[in-house]
Each structure stands twice: as C-alpha cells, then as structure tokens.
A and B are shown apart, each in its own frame.
Chain A
Amino acid sequence: MSAGASNPEYVNARVRARRAALFSDEDYRKLIRMGPSEIARFMEETEYEREINALGTRFSGVDLIEYALNRNLAKHFDDLLDWSKGQTYDLIARYLRKFDVWNVKTIIRGIYTDTPAEEIQTDLIRAGELEDALLDRMVEADEIEDVVEMLDGTIFYDGLVDAYEEYEESGMLVPLENALDREFYENLLEDLGRPQEGPRAMYVEFLEAEIDFRNARNALRLARTGADLDPAEFYIEGGVLFTQSELSRLVNDYDELVSHIADSRRYGDRLSTALNQLREAESLIEFEHALDAALLEYADRLSSIYPVSISAVLSYILAKEREVENIRAIARGREVGLSENEIEDELVIL
C-alpha cells in the first residue's frame, strides 16, 4: 500500500488525458469492417503501437492483438497505481486486484496442467497489486502449495489456505479459484463503511453493484444448472440485492429469482429489458451483457457527478477494460467469421 496523502485530483488529471485517447464509436465502426491483420495495423497507429511492435515477432493474427491489448491494459493500470498515493491508491488497488486474481488463477492452472513457465508468463496481465518479482517466482513454483505460501501477507492467503485443504481432497481447482474470487469481492468494501453521501458513497454504491451483479449472475447460473449445489458457497457478502438466505431460497425458483431482481429499487428499471428477455430466452448471455452495460453506465454516471473523485478513475478503469474487450471481440469475431451485426450486438459501447 502506498503511503502519503490521497491525491485523487492528480490521478484524475492524468486519467482525463488517457480517457481522451480511448477508441471512439467511429473507431469501432471502422474496426468492425476490418480483418484481424488490418486491425493489428490500425492498432499500430494508435497508442497500442509499442505493444504491437514488441510482440509482433512472437505472435501474429488475433493472438498478437489479444496479447498486445492485455499488455497495454496492464501498463495503463500499473500507471494508475504508480501515480496514486494514500487512500486513492488503496481505492484503486482494491479494484485492480481482480487482475491479481486472474494472474494467480492462471499460474495455478498452469502448474496444475504442467504448462511451461514461459507460456504461463505470456498469459499474465500484470495490472494488479502483486509485484512482478512475486509473480515471476510463483510462475517458477513446482507446486500449488508453494504458490499459496508465497501469497502469505496478501488478502488471498487465509482463504487459499482453507481452500487448499479442499483442493487436496478433491483434486479440483474449484475451491482455490472460488476462494480467490471470494477474497477479491469481499475485500472490495472492506473498511469503507456505508457512507450516505459524497463521492465515497457513490464509490461504495458502484462496488455494491459489482457484487450484486456478480451474485445475480451466479444465482441465475446456479438456478439454470439444476445441479444440487449449496448456494451459500457461491454467495458473496457485501451487496444489497440479496441476503444469503434469500439467495439460497431463490436459487430453487428461477422465476421468483428473476422477479426479485426486477423488483429491486436500485437495479430493477436499469435491467428491466434484459430481465424480460431472460424470462423468455434460454441463454443468460444477453443478461450478462446487460449487466456489463449497466455497470459501465453506472461508473460513467458516477464520474460525471463527481468528476475529480475516485469514481472518475474507476469509470476510466471500466472504460479501458471495455475497450480492450471490444477490440478483442471484434478481432476474434472477425477471425471466427461472425457477421458485422453479430459483433456489433456483442459490443458494449456507451
């Protein structure tokens, strides 16, 4: 954690310039009409130039684009952590720990499947709080247990130690992966309290939405799967949409679960179209899509209400992530032959 006074104004000023460099709707419209190699060339003329050139000798096609996007994302988010101090750092870092979760998951999956260290390194997105040196040491570890021990002192350690016992019994990575995600989500709101007004209140509201949406996704997935799973295991504390007992009850009744989300004062209106589709359609994808869009809109609204607060930084983080996901979706979509309309439907653009 960075010491010193909080500096949201400075970080916001830097972020504003970065935000202006994000791809516009017009850029997306151009990209949709390009093939993977044209997209890579187009990216070479944008701020992705350095990553495309650096990775161009090792990768080609859509893999080049995907790895360049990940590396660029990591660079930007790493800059955010470098610029921020004090509480600003803490508030940004707690959200960016999702990349620590990604990296630890990638490493334990790699060890689990005996993947060469070099390949694991390639898949890491070094945008989180964990130091590069620690990540490198974890990649070189022979056993998952060693990785768990190396995380001693991080928020993930206690949860991973408990999950490791389960992993040893079952031989499956599920408990470890769930423990990582749970620690991330449950630490999002740690020590923040429940402020009623001001930028902090908005920030908390956004994080609550993130947890609520994650709970909603998982509840719907559990309800759809029909398997005899304990919903409590998949419940994340901190949201306002469900209590644990509500979630456990609603998982057994799909329609009531959808109605519960629709009746929510905070999210009901925002998700009403997606929820109506969800009642009819078999797939959850449309709903997840709507959740992503709602979250992005949420963050954008927060940044316009308090333009120099941490919310604006968070809004930028989401917008950058979305840009990376959109470009990757366009490139992969073109590679696998999806039509322009299909790709456009999948993009989340504000």
Chain B
Amino acid sequence: MGKFLLLAFRNVFRNRRRTVMTLLMVGCGVAGLLMVGGFFAFMFQGLRESTIHNGLGHIQIFTAEHFNRDEVHVLDTGIDDWRKVAATVQTVNHVRGVAPRIEFYGMLSNGVKSSVFMGSAVDPDAERNMGFSPLLAAGRDLNRHSSGDAEALIGTGVARSMSVKVGDGLTILAVTADGALNGIDVQIVGIVNSGFKDMDDRYLRIALPAAQRLLQSSRVTNLVVGLDATENTDKVAASIVPRMSDLSQPMVVRKWIDLAAYYKQVRTLFGGIFVFLGVIVFVMVLMASVNTLLMTMFERTREIGTMLAMGTPRAWIVALFMVEATVTGMLAAVAGVVGGNLLGVLLNASGLHLPPPPGTTVEMHFRVLHVASLMIGSSLLVIVSLALASIVPAIRASRLQIAEALAHV
C-alpha cells in the first residue's frame, strides 16, 4: 500500500507546470476564503465587543416579570433591592463590575423645539469601571457628583434636530412610576456619536439619581454585568443563576448573545454570504479539476492499460486517481493556508480602511483574523472538492478497454 501511495504522490508531480497551476488555482480559492472569512471574523469580533462595551455588557439581570408582562407604568417590573443583587453578583469570579440601568423614554424640550428620546440612566462610575464609555463626538462623559443641574449626554441627531450644543440646557419630561408627568432640567455635557444614525437621533443618557428623581422610583430596570473577558460569559452566567434563587424577587440572567439581535442578524447575513462564496469556490475547483484530471487520464491511457493488463484491479485505478486528487487537494490547501495567512499579515500591516458600512457613520479598519477553524474548513472543502472531481476521470480510467488503451498513441 505504501508503494501504491508513493506512486500516487509521484504522479502528482509528473507534470510539474500543470500541478503548480492547479495548486495556484485551488490555493487561491483557499486563500480567498481565508481572506473573506478572516475579515468577517474580525468584523464579528469587533461588532461583538462594541455591542458589549457600548452598553449591552456581557450579562444582564432582569426580574422575571420583565419578560412575562408589559409594564403599566415605568419601572413596574424593575428590580427593587438592586444593591443586594449587585453585591451578590460582584463576588463571582471574572466579574469586573455591576452597573444599574434604567431604560425610559419621554420628551426633550429646549423651549423652542421638542423631540422624543429613548433614554438610559446609568451609574457613570460603575460604567467607567467596566470599560463601558459612550463614543463622544464632543464634550465629556457624565459626572455622578456634579453640582447644579443634572448632566445629560445626547446623540448627534438630537443635537442637530434641536439645534443645541454642549453647555446648553434641556428639560426632560417623562411619566413617573405613579403615572404622573414630571420634568427635570439637565445640562448637556457631551454629544454622542454611536455610529448608528437611528440610535443617535433618539439618544439620551443621564445619571441614575437624576432618573430616579424624574421617575419617582428607587427601582432600576436591570443590572449590567461586565466581565474580564467575553469568553467567560457562559461560565459566569452559570455561576450567577444559582445565587439568584435566594432573592425575594425572581430574577432572570441573560447573556449578551441573547440580547444582541443586531449582532445575530449581521452574523447570519454574513454567514450566508460566506457559505455562498464557499459554494462558488467549490464549484470552480470541481469544474477546473475535472478538466485537468480528464486530461491527465487521457495522457496516461496507455500506462493505465499496462497496469490493467498486469492484473491491477480496476478499483485500484479508481483509488489511484482519487488519492492523487486528494494529495493535490492537501498540497493546495497547505499552499492556500500559508499564502492566505501571509497575505493576511501583509494586509493587516497596510492599515487599510473601508468606507462606513450601511447605517453607520464610522469607517472600518480592514483586518483579517487568522482563524484555525476557517483554515481547517477551507482546506477540507478543497480536498473534498478535488476528491469528488476525480471520481468521473477515475471511473473512466478504470473502465478503459485494455487492448484499446495499449494501442493509444
């Protein structure tokens, strides 16, 4: 069997120019998949981390009621004793910090113009400790211990539509937990550009005490948990769940992936695009390889006839062609992985930027991640493609009429 494999291996290099061309073609396919897949992986990673650090956090804790019924009044389903819950979570390994949040909505007014907002109230210090900071286009972040009017961050779209800037005052109107209308004055200290236009057109952020004063409630909507690394999310979530059972209010622990609908949509979309590219590469390799292998079979007709005349089982001829194609696929995969990674290193070093993706306003870095699973997957794809491509030539070779094959010129 070793000698038979040796024969297959040597046959691969019989026509070196053609083999090099095949390796180049298939290798380019692998390298292309690594480039695209590596860039998508970078994009997914970037989107994941920005989603988490722009405020989603790694884990969020809600009351069970939050998902079971709609709120009649704001904070109806909020967490009562959130300090106790936060203290419980804070003791879990890998937890970097716990921050309370209030999600609310209402109207903004500067006396001349009004606009609706989707607001969040945060503990600025806790957010900063977890590395969650808003993307400021102007001004500064919130300061929890400021004197005078409460501070506010607004989105670039809000600032534009209301013609306000850092230092200007605004009045926030919202319905309290009791259903009454309430208002507070705030001073704009910063303008945020999240990169998502729809969000920036409705963005408002104030400090937690101001929101509690506005909404007339000591509750919070949820607790956001920041971890030392995203990879620890599952482990930490599993540790938190049993600790929630002692609390008076039933709690629900949600991981970031459960809450990141946009991230999941993007991933599904680009995953589909990648599969489509994979299919194209598969078909290209298949078609081109069938042609090359048929040519090889034609050139070796007399040799195959000789082997058959000497009593070589026809199955061996099939196996020979398939092994040759598989070896070619393996070499092409190695060439593609090496070439793709080198190209990735070069492109990463070039500092290339891409225009802002649709719906965003920030241009993207072009980076290619070196993903092991992608290398293995792409390699397997071309190896299988070549092995499949060899089936037709292999069967045709094995079915040659010996006398005719020996007379082949």
Asked if A and B bind, the verdict is no
B interface with A by C-beta (< 8 Å): none
